[in-house]
Structure 1
Amino acid sequence: MPEYWHLETEIQPGKMRFPELSDSYTTEVAFDSAHKIVGYCTIRVVNLNRLCAAPFYAENPEVAARLLADVSRIIPNFEKYEKLIFWYPSVNKNMERTFSPSETQTLLTTFSVRCDFIGNPCAGYIVVSDALQQITVSQLLLEGWTTLKPSADFYGMGLVNTYFRSGHEKTWQYVQEALSNPQYQNYDVYVTGHSLGGALAGLAAPRIVHDGLRQSHQVKVITFGEPRVGNLDFSRTYDQLIPYSFRVTHAIDIVPHLPACVKDLSYTPPAGSDGSMPCDPVSTNGGYHHGLEIWYPGNMTQGSPYMICTGLPRDEDFSCSNAPKVDLDDTTMGVWDHRNYFGVETLELQKMLSGGKELQNDTHIAMFWWKMIFEHF
């Protein structure tokens, strides 16, 4: 596969004029005459009145130039933005590492929609493999928590975080359309995501079964650094609908501890302990995890020890990541562990806001993690 060509420059949009054709930014995919994907480009609105082109790759300069021009023309009032920036080229290198050639993976769709009034995006992509007869959904939701306590009903399955549900509703159409295609009706579905993208995966998977798009045994989920999505009622329903579901957690990653669960006040911490307490296994008032946790207490290099967390409370095993006491008021605690899974660093929105160049594409990395999980288990 040839090297991907990537712009490493900045353009002052005020010097460029494009017609107003749409009220949203979008993604364009380039194909050659054999219907092989030779490039794709997404331009989205970021902070400080800037546009960001990412992910963006092409197999030659001609494809890149055409993609950039086509996507730019769709953006309304393009000239009003201060700058068009490009993520560091390492975002788009070595795409072939994600899948092996024998899997014949084909990109069905990419999506990126505004999730809130600030403009934080919910994004992802869906790929299909005829060789494996499976569809994979990878999702990303950048920072933007408006409420923590689960308070929104999720189709009778229990209460979930309001912000997560809003992100789910804005992206569900893309998942629904892909899974409703008669051509793929017998294909299994794999759902994955990191961080808040894991929360979107945690909502998409049970709805796929709830809405009759697939049966329970056809849906498989692996997430990384996923927060608590809903309450205990949602957890129990999720576990019934999605029996194949794993939450991979790295050491003291802070995000899986959010939102906080209700602590079991009947528990007395032993003398000399850090005072940590387990989640209340009967309270429906706070957040409560779903799915089986796989906890890496230290490194995540190949061969590193991990724990399969089947202890009590169910889904909140007190011998795994819940065991160490976590200070939810300490915004620095566990951040490194959250950004580093299996040796892949995932710098999140604050890195982009500070102008850092080593920002990674979480949707690509999530797919890479899906492969990594089978190497580690």
Structure 2
Amino acid sequence: MNVDYQSGCDNLQEISTDYKKELAYEQVFLAAAAYSDEPKVCVEKLKAGSSILPSDIDIVEVIARQCDDTIFEYKECAAIIGLSVSRKSIYVSFRGTTSISPQLILQSLSILFESKLAYGKGHVQKYFLTAYQKLSCLEPRVMNLLEQYPDFTVHFSGHSLGGALASIAAFTFSQKGLLDRNSMKLYTYGMPRVGDKLYAADFREKVYESFRVVNYKDCVTHFPTCFISCRHEGATGPYHHHTEVFYDTSNMLSESFFRVCNGNEDDVCSHKYQGPIKTVANARFCTDYHTRYFDIPVGKHCDETMNKRRKRSDVSDMSHLLSSEYCSVLQKGNDGWFVFSNRVTKITKASNISTNDTSSVTDSLTTVIDDDYECAASPAYQTVPNMLLVIPTLTYVLM
């Protein structure tokens, strides 16, 4: 078997090292479908063209919202929810960041200069947590499905930014007691560092089966940087959570050799390609490795499958249905996508109470977006290496 397991020193809680490459290959297609304006059509075409996805899988809903309050027009924060009765599985996959989108610039600037937010026992990047919380109608929709199918496993997945949101989703569902740590699986692709070392330890307690798939010299997986600040005792800098699956080849295929590393930041895995000089040297090609997993152009795969040309502005075909004011649940009808329900989250700082105005459906669960999270400033020794990474990368991407 094309696998090498490397043990690490992070033995805080038992975790799964049973990486299933078939499941990883399956999930990357759902991560690709999350990028699409027509994920339901895309999944149907993918099912017809191969046996990779379950034959009965169906995209039942799309959760979406404008992700940033700016003048830019770009793809929204979104997640798709799928269901397969034969596999006894519920699938939740988050949309990632397109390589030419202004969203990528905002995301990078946020990570560089904004404070982190306390979450669980550690801190996470503000941009990722805020983006996840804006999809406040996701949790009750997944729980509605679990009420119908209580013994189903929930699979979280995502590519790039979508991987970070999937990671926070898995942690949050476990932390809130919505899911047992053994009743979910997390597979991410090209995921950046979500939080710090304390968050990674807490994540290990909350999520049993988590796999971060990394394609060779994908530089996004090294962002925010961990040049100096993450591995020493008492470190507060960015730090990956478990478990990395590293494909150390420039031509990543489903049958390629991979290495499973239990150590969160293991030098025999992708961490060996991190460093200021290596980052600048790899900037020319790192986006190529980031955008393709298992030789699939994740962000463009559905458009290519459906022979659809992506608009340069990255405004989706669903944009007219969405607002920055509320999270929308979209379902597919005979005349296209329609808004099944809207959830408006209003904040009362003093009492920390969320009031939800919901149409078409009443949800029993609410999500509070709390502006009073404890903040942790990004130290200068973290910001400078991050700039070394993001500047050459963005320069190449935007050329």
Q: Same fold (TM over 0.5)?
A: yes
Where in structure 2 are the equivalents of 1:170-319 lying within 5 Å? 170-181=134-145, 182-263=147-228, 279-298=230-249, 299-310=251-262, 314-319=263-268
1:333–1:157 CA distance, 2 compared to 1 (3 A):
farther
Q: Which amino acid aligns with 2:67?
A: C
Q: Which amino acid aligns with 1:183?
A: Q
Structure 1: stretches of 5+ with no match in the other structure: 1-51, 59-89, 265-278, 357-377
CA positional deviation for 1:240: 1.2
Distance 2:311 2:37 in 1: 15
CA positional deviation for 1:286: 1.5
Distance 1:325 1:100 in 2: 33
CA positional deviation for 1:354: 5.1
SS of the aligned residue for 1:141 comes to coil
CA positional deviation for 1:352: 5.7
1:97–1:113 CA distance, 2 compared to 1 (3 A):
farther
1:138 aligns with 2:121: no
Distance 2:299 2:221 in 1: 17
Once the two structures are superposed, residues 323-347 of structure 1 have per-residue CA deviations (whole angstroms, 9 ceiling, x without a partner) of: 1244445753411111111010135
1:107 is matched with which residue?
A: 59
Distance 2:259 2:297 in 1: 22
1:336–1:102 CA distance, 2 compared to 1 (3 A):
closer
CA positional deviation for 1:171: 1.4
Once the two structures are superposed, residues 148-175 of structure 1 have per-residue CA deviations (whole angstroms, 9 ceiling, x without a partner) of: 2661122x33211111011100114223
1:147 is matched with which residue?
A: 110
Distance 1:329 1:53 in 2: 31
CA positional deviation for 1:224: 0.5
SS of the aligned residue for 1:223 comes to strand
SS of the aligned residue for 1:147 comes to helix
SS of the aligned residue for 1:323 comes to helix
Once the two structures are superposed, residues 309-362 of structure 1 have per-residue CA deviations (whole angstroms, 9 ceiling, x without a partner) of: 13xxx31111110112444457534111111110101357xx967579xxxxxx
1:54 aligns with 2:24: no
Distance 1:332 1:297 in 2: 18
Larger relative contact order (CA 8 Å, sep ≥ 6): 2
TM-score, normalised with respect to structure 1: 0.60
Q: Which has the higher helix share?
A: 2
Superposed CA RMSD: 3.0
Greater mean deviation of Cα atoms: 317-326 or 330-339: 330-339
Contact 1:103/1:132, CA 8 A, preserved across alignment? no
Distance 1:53 1:242 in 2: 28
1:186–1:345 CA distance, 2 compared to 1 (3 A):
same
TM-score, normalised with respect to structure 2: 0.57
Greater mean deviation of Cα atoms: 329-338 or 132-141: 329-338
CA positional deviation for 1:91: 9.8
Contact 1:198/1:223, CA 8 A, preserved across alignment? yes
Contact 2:47/2:54, CA 8 A, preserved across alignment? no
Greater mean deviation of Cα atoms: 328-337 or 236-245: 328-337
1:116 is matched with which residue?
A: 68
1:184–1:295 CA distance, 2 compared to 1 (3 A):
same
SS of the aligned residue for 1:332 comes to helix
CA positional deviation for 1:284: 3.7
Once the two structures are superposed, residues 5-50 of structure 1 have per-residue CA deviations (whole angstroms, 9 ceiling, x without a partner) of: xxxxxxxxxxxxxxxxxxxxxxxxxxxxxxxxxxxxxxxxxxxxxx
Contact 1:139/1:193, CA 8 A, preserved across alignment? yes
1:340 aligns with 2:284: no
2:126 is matched with which residue?
A: 162
Matched residues, percent identical? 26
Larger radius of gyration: 1
Q: Which amino acid aligns with 1:320?
A: C
Q: Which amino acid aligns with 1:211?
A: K
Distance 2:81 2:246 in 1: 27
Distance 1:297 1:138 in 2: 25
SS of the aligned residue for 2:110 comes to coil
SS of the aligned residue for 2:204 comes to helix
SS of the aligned residue for 2:271 comes to coil
CA positional deviation for 1:104: 2.0
Q: Which amino acid aligns with 1:189?
A: V
Greater mean deviation of Cα atoms: 116-125 or 157-166: 116-125
CA positional deviation for 1:258: 0.2
SS of the aligned residue for 2:268 comes to coil
Contact 2:261/2:269, CA 8 A, preserved across alignment? yes
1:333–1:94 CA distance, 2 compared to 1 (3 A):
closer
SS of the aligned residue for 2:95 comes to strand
Query: What count of residue pairs does the alignment treat as equivalent?
Result: 254
CA positional deviation for 1:54: 2.6
Contact 2:40/2:58, CA 8 A, preserved across alignment? no
Contact 1:195/1:255, CA 8 A, preserved across alignment? yes
Structure 2: stretches of 5+ with no match in the other structure: 1-34, 98-103, 301-308, 315-399
> Which ranges of 4 or more aligned residues in structure 1 deviate by more than 4 Å?
90-93, 97-103, 328-331, 351-356
